[in-house]
Structure 1
Amino acid sequence: MGLDTKPLSAMHGTSSYSLDDFPVPSGREEIWRFTPLSRLRGLHDGTAAVSGNVVVEVSAPPDVTVETVGRDDPRLGRAYVPADRVSAQAYSSFEKATVITVPQEVVASAETVITLRGDGQGVSYGHIVISVEPMAEAVVVLDHQGSAVYADNVEFVVGDGATLKIVSLQDWADDAVHVSHHHARLGKDATFKSFVVTLGGDLVRLAPSVAYTGRGADADLSGLYFVDAGQHIEHRLLVDHSVPDCRSNVDYRGALQGEEAHAVWIGDVVIRVEATGTDTYELNRNLLLTDGARADSVPNLEILTGEVAGAGHASASGRLDDEHTFYLQARGIPYDEARRLVIRGFFAQLIQKIEVEEIRDRVLAAVEAELAR
C-alpha cells in the first residue's frame, strides 16, 4: 500500500503503510522532540531486527471470536494507517496478528483478556484488531508484562450503536521498551471508553487516537501513570472530530518521583469544518513528588468551525498542595499517611472508572506500592 491521504492538520503529518514514506527521526521533529531516541533500541531507525518474542494469550468468553491470522488478512490495516516511522515499522514487520470479533447485537458475557508477555530483551512486533459489530458490547483488557523491546499497532473498530470498553495495562519489567499506537474508529452512536494504566518499563510511548465515521459517537479516554527514577513515560493523543454531533472527553493524570523521572503528555484535538455540534474537553494533571522529576504537558485544540457545543482544555503540573496535607496533619494524621491520602484522592476518581474489578484492585495495589517506596 502506498501513501495515504493528505495530512489531517498542522498537528498530524504523513499517514502511510510504507516505511519508506517516513524519514529516520533526528529528534528535532515535533512528534519526536520529547522522546530519547537512543533508548528506543533501534525501533526508529530500522536497526531493530526481530530477535525475540512477545507471547500473546487470549482468554475470551464463548460468544467472542478469537483468531490468529497472517499478514494477508483483509481486516488488518483497514481502520488505521500508520502515522509515524515506528508505527510503520511495526506494521511492516509483524508475522501474525490477533483478531477479536464480537458479533452483531451480542453483549459479551465476560471480559476478554489479552495478555502480552515478553520473554526477554529481544525485539518483536505485533498487531491486534478488536472489532465490535453493530449494537454489540464488550470489555477488553490488554495486559502487558515481562521484558521486551516491542512495537505494535492496535485497531479498535466500533460499529454503529456498539460499545467497547478497553483497559490497557503497561506493567512491564523495568528494562522493557514499548512503542504502540491505539486507534479507535467509531460508527454512528458508538461508545468507546479507554483506560490506560502505565506503570512499568524503561521507556513506554503510547499514541491513542480516535476517528469518527457517524453522528452521535462518544469517546472517553482516561489514563493513569506513575513514573519512577529514570523512567520515560509518554502519551500522545489525537482525537479527530470529522463528523457532526460527536463527543470526546480526555482525562490523564500522573505522579512522578525520583531523579530523571520524565512524563510527556500531548493532547491534540482537531474539530474539522464539517464537525458542527462537537463537544470536547481534555485535561492533564501531574503531581511532582520529588526534586529531579519532570513533566511536559501540551494540550492542543485546532477548531475549524465556530459551531461547537463546547471545546476546552486544561493542564496543570505541580507539587502536593501543602494546605491539603496540613489539613490532615491538623487532625492527627502523620505526614507520610497524609501524603498518601492526598495522592490516593488525586487518582481515586479515575481508578473508579476501571470496568474490571480485578484490574482495578491491581492498579490500587500498584499505586500503594509506589507510595511505599
Structure 2
Amino acid sequence: MSSVTEAPVTVPGAKGHTDGAGAFVPVQTRSERPRSYAPGDFERPTGREVNWKHTPVDRLSRLFDDVEGDEGGVSIAVSGPVAGAALGIGTAPRGEVFTPEDLPSAIAWSRAAEALYVSIPAAAELDEPVVIESVGGGVDLLAHAHLVIEAQPQSKATVVLRHIGVAQFAQNVEIVVREGAQLEVVTVQQWDDDAVHAASHQARIGRDATLRHVVVSFGGSVVRVNPDVELAGTGSRAELYGLSYSDAGQHLESQVYLHHKGAETTGDVLYKGALQGALARSVWIGDVLIGPDAVGTDSYEANRNLVLTEGARADSIPNLEIETGDIRGAGHASATGRFDDEQLFYLQARGIPEDDARRMVVLGFLSEIVQKVRVPALEAELFAAIEAELALEVGR
C-alpha cells in the first residue's frame, strides 16, 4: 500500500486580526478549526474554547493526557461478512480523509499504532451488517483506537459500531465512500454509567455515492460523538441522523459538520433527543458549509429535543454558511420543548393510563430516527432500550 503524508494541515490557535490594538478573534466556525496530527499542536481544553464550552471538560481529563493506553482497556472485535485488517500509521487509506481537529483525536491518532481496517469489496452488496464491537474493560482503563471503513466503488453495506462496558475511550472513525457506493454506518453507545467516550468521525463521499450515518447514544457518563462529513463528489448525498436519551447526570453530545464541496450534492441532518432527571444534559451543534463550487446544493438540518422532567437541559445550536448563490435550497431548524400536558390529557381522556400515554408520546417522538436504521433486529433492540429508559422514569 502507498504511504500517506502526515504533515499538519494548519497551524493551531486562534485566528487574529489587527484593529489597531492587536486584538485576537477566536475561531468561531467549524471550517476554521485548526487540524494537526501532532497532539502538541493543540492546547489542553479549558472549557472556554468554542468547541469545548458546552462540554464538561473536567470529566474528560484522562483523554487529554498524551500517554499510552492501558492493555485491555477496550477490546475490539469484527463479525459479519467482512473481516478486519490492520493499517499502520502512514499506510493508505489511513489518513486519506482523517485529520484530527482536537486534542483527544490527535492523541488517538498517534497512540493507535495500528488502525482496524474494514473494506467493502467493489460492487458487493452485503446482505447482513458488519458489526464492530468495542467492549470496555474497566472504569479506570484508558484506551485509544482508530478505525477505517472503506466502501469500494458501487458497493452497498451496513456497518454497526457497538460500544458496551466501561472505559475512558478516545476513538477516531475514518469513513471513505467511493464512487457510486452506498454505505450506512450506525454507531450505538450503550456504555455502563461511568464510561467516558470521545469519538471523532470524519467521512468523504465520492461521486454519486451515499452515506447514511446514525448516532445512537444511551449509556455512559459523558459521550461526545462528532461527525464531520465532506460531500466531495458531484451528486453525492449524506443522511446524518441521531438519537439520544439522557438520564440524570448524563452528558450526551454531538457536534455535526456537513461540508458541501461538490456540485449537485444533497444533505439531510436530523437529530432527536429525550432528557429526564436532574442534570441530564444534551448538546447538539450543527454546522453546514456550502462551498463556492457546491452549485445546485440541497441541504437541511434540524434538531428536536423533548425535556421530560425538571432539571434537564438541552443546548441546540444550528449554523449555516453559504458561499454560493446558485443552490436549490438550504435551511436549518431547532426546537426544544417540555412534555406536552395537553397531549397527555387528550390521551388520558380517551381512557389511556398516564404512564402508557407518556410512553406513547415519547416512542412516537423518537421512532422516526429508529426507523431510519434499516436493520430490523437493531431497530427492535433500540425500541426496547427506549422502553427501558421510560421504565426508569416511571419508577422514579
- What secondary structure is seen at the aligned counterpart in 2 of 1:40? helix
- What secondary structure is seen at the aligned counterpart in 2 of 1:109? coil
Q: Does 1:37 align with 2:84?
A: no
User: What is aligned with 1:321?
Assistant: 340
Q: Distance in 2 between matches of 1:346 and 1:114?
A: 28
Pick from 280, 288, 291 the counterpart of residue 261 of structure 1: 280
Q: Does 1:193 align with 2:212?
A: yes
Q: Distance in 2 between matches of 1:293 and 1:151?
A: 26
User: What is aligned with 1:26?
Assistant: 46
Q: Distance in 2 between matches of 1:315 and 1:79?
A: 30
Q: Which runs of 5+ in 1 are unaligned?
A: none
Q: Answer yes or no: is the 8 Å Cα contact 1:272–1:304 preserved in 2.
A: yes
Between 1:197-206 and 1:323-332, the stretch displaced more is 323-332
The one-letter code matched in structure 2 to 1:93 is: R
Q: Determine what percentage of the aligned residue pairs are the same residue.
A: 46
Between 1:265-274 and 1:95-104, the stretch displaced more is 95-104
User: What is aligned with 1:214?
Assistant: 233
User: What is aligned with 1:113?
Assistant: 131
Deviations 1:75-124 (A, max 9, x none): 21111111111111111111322100111111123210101111112001
Q: CA deviation at 1:323?
A: 2.1
Q: Distance in 2 between matches of 1:328 and 1:79?
A: 50
Q: Distance in 1 between matches of 2:44 and 2:90?
A: 27
Q: CA deviation at 1:9?
A: 8.2
Q: Does 1:74 align with 2:92?
A: yes
TM-score under structure 1 normalisation? 0.96
User: What is aligned with 1:143?
Assistant: 162
Q: Distance in 1 between matches of 2:87 and 2:207?
A: 28
The one-letter code matched in structure 1 to 2:158 is: V
User: What is aligned with 1:370?
Assistant: 389
Q: Distance in 2 between matches of 1:323 and 1:124?
A: 47
Q: How does 1:212-361 map onto structure 2 within 5 Å?
A: 212-361=231-380
Q: CA deviation at 1:203?
A: 0.4
Q: Answer yes or no: is the 8 Å Cα contact 1:4–1:15 preserved in 2.
A: yes
Q: CA deviation at 1:137?
A: 0.6
Q: CA deviation at 1:45?
A: 4.4
Deviations 1:127-174 (A, max 9, x none): 110101110111110000111100011011101000001111000110
- What secondary structure is seen at the aligned counterpart in 1 of 2:304? strand
The one-letter code matched in structure 1 to 2:80 is: A
User: What is aligned with 2:145?
Assistant: 126
Q: Does 1:83 align with 2:101?
A: yes
Q: Distance in 1 between matches of 2:28 and 2:49?
A: 16
Q: How does 1:175-186 map onto structure 2 within 5 Å?
A: 175-186=194-205
Q: Distance in 1 between matches of 2:369 and 2:43?
A: 38
Q: CA deviation at 1:72?
A: 4.3
Q: Distance in 2 between matches of 1:35 and 1:188?
A: 35
Q: Does 1:95 align with 2:113?
A: yes
Q: Distance in 2 between matches of 1:325 and 1:42?
A: 43
Deviations 1:36-94 (A, max 9, x none): 11101321243x54124211111121xx3421333343321111111111111111111
- What secondary structure is seen at the aligned counterpart in 1 of 2:100? coil
Q: Which runs of 5+ in 2 are unaligned?
A: 1-5, 13-26
- What secondary structure is seen at the aligned counterpart in 1 of 2:363? helix
The one-letter code matched in structure 2 to 1:246 is: T
